[in-house]
Amino acid sequence: MAVEAPVQPEIVVSSRPLLASWREIAGDYIALLKPRIILLLLVTEAGAMIVAARGWPAPGVLFGSLIGGAMAAGGAGAVNCWFDRDIDKLMPRTRRRAIAAGRISPASGLVFGIVVGLGGVALIAFSSNLLAAALALAGGLVYVFVYTMWLKRATAQNIVIGGAAGAFPPLVGWAAVTGSLSPLAWALFAIVFFWTPPHFWALALLLSRQYSAAKVPMLPVVAGEGHTRRSILAYSILMLAISAIPVVWLGPVYGVACIGLGGVFLWLAGRASRRRDGASAMALFHYSLAYLGLLFVAAAIAAAVPL
């Protein structure tokens, strides 16, 4: 009589979890900080610090303020991801963000953002002074409470007013070095403030359908494409006029860079205002990132290198 072989238990191989490793988890938390945005903010902060010091600031002040500034801005970005998780789910550009996609719980994302942000403010206070720390805190609060929680969903002027949050890093850097603010520091603030609308509206033109679906009243959704393109050109002209003000303090090196970089910006803004295509808006958006970074590099070089 044949003996049946014992039945082997079925081995069930479970599917891999969505987050398969600590590296992926860490990556999601880092992404909440919006590091690509932080990088440009740090260029403006570092540029302002070098201008204020007329050379390299003390290493402790420089690195403490930059790391603290990155943490303060990143924490505000994480809180933005927490608050905007409902509309992030509706937009292809943002639906993969960790909180919107469910990979990080809303509570965890909120706590993470607050802890990182306040930690950055504390680091700035420790490495430089209380004025710089207060300015970093103010920038984060404007971004979270004024832009994210109020203006973004309420008015087409959201990025005009709320964009002030992104203009705080030059003030933070200047205050970290000098313990005060000067007219030149406010001029650097104004450059970033008036740069923000043409920069962001160029992107909004490309994403207008997504913003419309999410019911976010960005300018192209509310006022139309033609009005947005004309507004981009108007704000670009205003920004370029303001960007010339620091020539009074920084001299011809900065002036040449201002004219050269600004000329390209104005040409791209003019082209975007005439055309009704995505390519012109995309070109302006990408160049605007390079423009701001290079302008602050030029300001730093003009201040640090005596002629």
Query: Domains of the chain, with CATH numbers?
Result: 26-304 (1.10.600)
For 72, residues 6+ apart whose C-beta sits below 8 A from its C-beta are: 117, 120, 121, 124, 136, 137, 139, 140
In the prediction, which pLDDT does 163 show? 83
175 pLDDT more than 70:
yes
Q: If you average pLDDT over residues 276-286, what whole number do you get? A: 94
In the prediction, which pLDDT does 53 show? 96
Please report how the helices 183-206 and 278-304 are oriented relative to each other, as an axis angle in degrees rounded to 10.
160
Tell me the helices (H) and strands (E) count for the chain, helix number first. Answer: 15, 0
CA distances from 84 to 34, 99, 163 (A): 14, 9, 17
In the prediction, which pLDDT does 140 show? 97
- Confidence band of 294 (pLDDT split at 50, 70, 90): very high
Q: What percent of the chain has pLDDT over 90?
A: 88
Q: If you average pLDDT over residues 300-306, what whole number do you get? A: 91
14 pLDDT more than 70:
no
Q: Rounded distance, CA 81 to CA 75, Å?
A: 10
Q: Which residue has the higher pLDDT, 19 or 112?
A: 112
Picking from 247, 244, 251, 246, the residue whose alpha carbon sits closest to that of residue 266 is 244
Mean pLDDT over each residue of the chain, to the nearest integer: 92
In the prediction, which pLDDT does 307 show? 67
Q: If you average pLDDT over residues 206-229, what whole number do you get? A: 94
With DSSP H G I counted as helix, E B as strand and the rest as coil, what are the percentages for the chain, rounded to 5? Answer: 75, 0, 25
Q: If you average pLDDT over residues 250-277, what whole number do you get? A: 95
Q: If you average pLDDT over residues 75-96, what whole number do you get? A: 95
Does the model's pTM come out above 0.85?
yes
Residue with structure tokens 């209380």?
A: 130
In the prediction, which pLDDT does 20 show? 53
Q: Rounded distance, CA 239 to CA 256, Å?
A: 16
Cβ atoms 173, 133 nearer than 8 A: no
For 67, residues 6+ apart whose C-beta sits below 8 A from its C-beta are: 120, 123
Q: Rounded distance, CA 168 to CA 246, Å?
A: 17
In the prediction, which pLDDT does 17 show? 54
CB atoms within 10 A of CB 255: 16
In the prediction, which pLDDT does 168 show? 97
Residue with structure tokens 């005596």?
A: 306
149 pLDDT more than 90:
yes
Residue 70's Cα: distance from chain center in Å? Answer: 10
Q: Rounded distance, CA 102 to CA 78, Å?
A: 14
- Confidence band of 10 (pLDDT split at 50, 70, 90): very low
